[in-house]
Amino acid sequence: MKQIKINSARLISSIYEIARIGKLSNGGVRRLAFSKNDLIAKKKIIEWCEELGLNLSMDSIGNIFARLENNKNFTKKSTGIGSHLDTQPHGGKFDGAYGVLAGLEVIRTIVEKKIILKRPIELIIWSNEEGCRYTPPLMGSLFFTNSVKLKNLKKLKDSEGILLEDELIFFHNLGLKKVLNKKIDSFIEIHIEQGPILEKLKKSIGVVIGAQGSRGLNVDFVGEDSHSGTTPMNVRKDTVVALSNFVVDFTNEAKKLHKDLRATVGSIVTLPGSRNTVSGKSSITVDIRHKDPNILNKIEKIIANIGRKIELRLKVHVKIKKKLYGSKNNAAPNISFSLENTSLNKKLKKGKIPIDKKIDFHGMTVFEAERLFSQTVITCYENNFRNLLFVTGKGVLKKHNEDSHQVKLYYGKIRSGFFSWVKKNELQKYILAVEQASIEHGADGAFFVYLRKKKF
């Protein structure tokens, strides 16, 4: 197929036009979810979508859908493409907006070049992905996947006491068709890297193969208000001192636990907030992220232990509440693999992996193993290899009926397993097996895959 190019100048122009909405003096953007600036930005995107003749709709939480279809594919589920427009208080012009406008540019190009798609494509603008004004983050996509209830979200208040339900009225008055139980086939998002890894590797693009598990905690420190000029240091119940000790201990323990753990204290509030008063109550928010739930469980236990030690040492009560929970998710491996081939222009050729080839996953991280294994299985499929054998650690080979579609993955006590090829779309089962094996045997545990055309 002939390579299709977008209008890059138009994309850049669109990005900078949206960036003017909520522009900060330092070049950043402040466009909080459900704010006036958020509304103005979405009105502009809606205007551009209407010019393309897209079928526009909105769900109850403010997610916007702009669908391009033709008379042959209108009954099919769409491929979603997009991101979000809301930002952090000191956000960047590309965070989220780039994904929305890149998706819009793809649709503009398809319309201009009169490309007929087998499946509809749908621009999606997720509502309140950042979650800094109303918690939880990822609100729009969580609502879309039935992970949160609208009645609970409507009761949320921001720091100024404004109800989310009241703010939603302005978005529902945009005049878009209301949609319930929206279904799509798949979703693709282009996003800037929010960390330094690709930049350090001098890579311009990467393909996401999974999202880390994340948990959010609120930690309250309760002591006693007292006068700063008359209360001796040794009898104070100072919550600022307590939270300061907590932050230092928490950060040090997180660094020691695992190099890939992300642990952050994002917000600190002290009360009464007076210069000459020892603080009697302080609160912090804690954000922890890792791909292995066992690591997250361990850091939660460490956090609880730190709290107990501070209570004993500083005579301040520490209350820890879990507020957010996000499980680790894998991206669809066939889509990740296709994106990698497209973006890097490096396609696996048939015959690259010969018969009886052993692939060694020793020393790889979970993500690295998942990525290589998905490539391996697809290549196996293309070369008509009918069987896969994976072996982890020590154990006895176990066989399963080739005709069975019910494949047991031996969670918890995985030793070895035998799989026959069933369907290409069952790659996820293999990826889960690799992940579990890697976690169980450690990042440097032995893991091998054998490929054969003949039955074992």
CA pair distance 206, 220, nearest whole angstrom:
39
Q: Which residues contact 363 (CB under 8 A, 6 or more apart)?
A: 443, 444
Strands 281-290 and 262-271: antiparallel
Going by the DSSP 8-state scheme, the letter that residue 234 receives in this structure is: G
pLDDT of residue 391: 41
DSSP 82-117: EEE----TTB-SSTTHHHHHHHHHHHHHHHHTTPPP
Going by the DSSP 8-state scheme, the letter that residue 196 receives in this structure is: S
Domains present along the chain, CATH in parentheses: 8-192 (3.40.630.10), 213-326 (3.30.70.360), 331-452 (no CATH)
For 200-205, the CB contacts below 8 A with 24+ separation are 205/343, 205/344
Buried b (16+ CB within 10 A) or exposed e, 348-378: beeeebeeeeebebeebbbbebbbbbbbbbb
| Per-position pLDDT tens, the chain of length 456 | 567 889 999 999 999 999 999 999 998 999 999 999 999 999 999 999 999 999 999 999 999 999 999 878 888 999 999 999 999 999 999 999 999 999 999 999 999 999 999 899 999 999 999 999 998 989 999 999 999 999 999 999 999 999 999 999 999 889 899 998 888 999 999 988 877 877 887 777 877 777 888 999 999 999 999 999 999 999 999 999 999 999 999 999 999 999 999 999 999 999 999 999 999 999 999 999 998 889 999 999 999 999 999 999 999 999 999 988 888 777 776 677 677 666 544 433 333 333 334 444 444 554 555 555 555 555 544 444 444 444 433 322 233 333 222 223 222 222 233 233 333 344 444 444 544 444 444 433 333 443 333 332
**In the structure encoding, which two tokens stand for residue 201, read together?**
């590797």
Q: How far is CA 17 from CA 10, 40, 98, 101, 389, in A?
A: 10, 12, 12, 11, 53
pLDDT of residue 284: 97
Q: Which residues contact 10 (CB under 8 A, 6 or more apart)?
A: 105, 108
